[in-house]
Every structure is written in C-alpha cells, then in structure tokens.
Amino acid sequence: MADERDAEAQMDADALYQEEMFTDRRVGALRRLTPVKRDGSRDETRPVLFVGQAEIMTNMGPVPLSFEIPGETLDQAVAGFGVAAQAAIERTVQQIQEMRRQQASQLVVPQGGLPPTMGGGGRGGGKIQLP
C-alpha cells in the first residue's frame, strides 16, 4: 500500500514547468507555465502555457474556475483572458445544470403511486394493505 502511494506522488522530471503569477487584482489571475529541463534551464522544445483563474458567484457560494488560454506571449494571453473565461463560465454553468438535473431525477417515488388524499384513488402501494 505504501509503495502505491509513493508511486503516485512521483513528479515527472521531464515535464517540469516554472510557474509565474500575474493579476490585475480585479478580474482574475493568469499563470504562465514555462517548460524547464531537469536542471531548471528553459526547455525550448515545449510551448509556454497560460492558465487563467477566476471565480463565479453562485447561490452556493464562489466557484473557482481554471482554464487554458491560447497564446504564445503574455500580451496574447491577457487579450484572450475574457473569451477563455466566458467559455469556462458557460461550461461550468452547464455542468451545474446537469448536476441539478441528475439530483432531481433521484427523487424517490413511493411504490404504488399517490395516496388517495392526493388524487391517487384506490389503495395505496405501501407494504401494509387491508382487505
């Protein structure tokens, strides 16, 4: 069991990135992930990645968003932040709606239908039945 946990916690030395954080302190944050080699020098064979971070308010509280932003430079990533954030918001809203739909479909309906007082008529479907 301990060996499995150790195997899962191993970092991939060939997939390292140096992370830098940028923010306007208003809308969100932008992370620049620069690929580096094992010795910490820049790995020119892999592209720089940009990841946006923001949050939306829901009736359940704030929901954090994290989304990739296309671009090769910080300027391009800043310019593309709004479009990528909007797409992430739309995906998140759809996921929340799907979760609500799934929750609603899990309602338990008593066996035998509605009781006579609720328009079901006749006998109820409970386990105790009178002749």
Instruction: Specify the pLDDT at position 80.
Output: 97
Other residues' Cβ atoms within 10 Å of the Cβ of residue 43? 18
Rounded CA-CA distance 75/93 in Å is 28
Token pair, residue 16, equals: 């390292």
For residues 50-75, one letter each, b for 16 or more C-beta atoms within 10 angstroms of the residue's C-beta and e for the rest, the string is bbbbbeeeeeeeeeebebebebeeee
Instruction: Specify the pLDDT at position 106.
Output: 76
pLDDT values of the chain reduced to their tens digit, one per residue, 131 residues? 555 555 678 999 999 999 999 999 999 999 999 999 999 999 999 999 999 999 988 888 898 999 999 999 999 999 999 999 999 999 998 998 898 888 888 766 666 655 666 555 555 555 665 55
Instruction: Specify the pLDDT at position 57.
Output: 87
Token pair, residue 98, equals: 């799907």
- The answer to whether the beta carbons of residues 70 and 51 sit under 8 Å apart is no
Instruction: Specify the pLDDT at position 84.
Output: 97
Q: Specify the residue for token string 């989304």.
A: 67
Query: Considering the entire predicted model, what is its pTM?
Result: 0.69
Q: Considering Cα of 40, then 41, then 43, then 49, what sign does the dihedral take?
A: positive
